[in-house]
Amino acid sequence: MQSWNELKTRAQNGGFPHKNLLIGCDFDGTLAPFTLKPHQAKLPTEIRKLLERLARKKEIQVAVISGRALKDVEKKVGIKRLIYCGNHGLEIKIRDQVWIHSEATDLAEHIQTLSQKIRRWLPQFSGTELENKHLSLSLHYRRVRKKSAIKKLESFLKKEMSPYGDHLRVVHGKKLFDVRPKIAWDKGDAILHLIKQLGPSWKACFIGDDVTDEEAFHTLNQKALSIRVGPAKNTHAQFLIHNRGYVERFLKLLVQRYEK
């Protein structure tokens, strides 16, 4: 695991391909600040400007790869030239073409049935919020303070999940439980899918901050450069940067390099 100084040196000294670079970024906690209420998240103006400048380069493709639904993350960012990936890469939009993982579509009915069951008992847990993203669910507990309440919430979720063990799985993220289809696919697979679409000359990097992004780092391994944002005792990422401020600094370095 390498630090910001090594990443900065690599970016400045040609450690990135001068042409054909796919830059994949998570949204919440990476591009945008983490908020107590998910709908309040907003892309900072300076980050928006940097993404727009990078997106204007023919040799650059910027992809925002989020756990949010595709339409949600596209609305939050709102830059036309970007690639958008929702539901942890289960749905991908390139220009006006939308690709959806077929196995996820097949399991969407289970997601909807489970969502209805969860909503019946959710009022018992003050401060929680269920986000139905059609292909997956996010059960947020950002405003729940007591650990005992979170444990009880997890127990309820496990009980409701038990009939769907062959089809669905729970992934722990930052202040949330993600319910996803039980298929071999994550944000890293989405990056590799995009590289396949773009062509063999393209290289990629992926920036993420959440526990759920560790799946992507592990999947990508040495196939792409990987950057973890925020403190982490263990990570599969190649580089570790301290906070979101370094994401902005990194994007600025790339802008400077590709505008030379």
- At 226 the three-state DSSP class reads strand
Class (C level, CATH) for 107-181: alpha beta
Residues of CATH 3.30.70.1020 domain(s) within the chain?
A: 107-181
pTM of the complete model = 0.94
Give the pLDDT score at 182: 97
Report the C-alpha dihedral over residues 109, 110, 113, 118, rounded to 10 degrees: -140
Supply 20's token pair. 């054909």
Distance, CA of 84 to CA of 89 (rounded, Å): 9
pLDDT tens for the chain, 260 residues long, are 799 999 999 888 767 776 899 999 999 999 999 998 899 999 999 999 999 999 999 999 999 999 999 999 999 999 999 999 999 999 999 999 999 999 999 999 999 999 999 999 999 999 999 999 999 999 999 999 999 999 999 999 999 999 999 999 999 999 999 999 999 999 999 999 999 999 989 999 999 998 889 999 999 998 999 999 998 889 999 999 999 999 999 999 999 988 87
Which CATH code for domain 4-101+185-258? 3.40.50.1000
Give the pLDDT score at 260: 73
Beta strands (DSSP E) in 128-195 are: 129-132, 137-140, 168-173, 176-181
Residues of CATH 3.40.50.1000 domain(s) within the chain?
A: 4-101+185-258
Give the pLDDT score at 176: 95
- At 65 the three-state DSSP class reads strand
- At 64 the three-state DSSP class reads strand
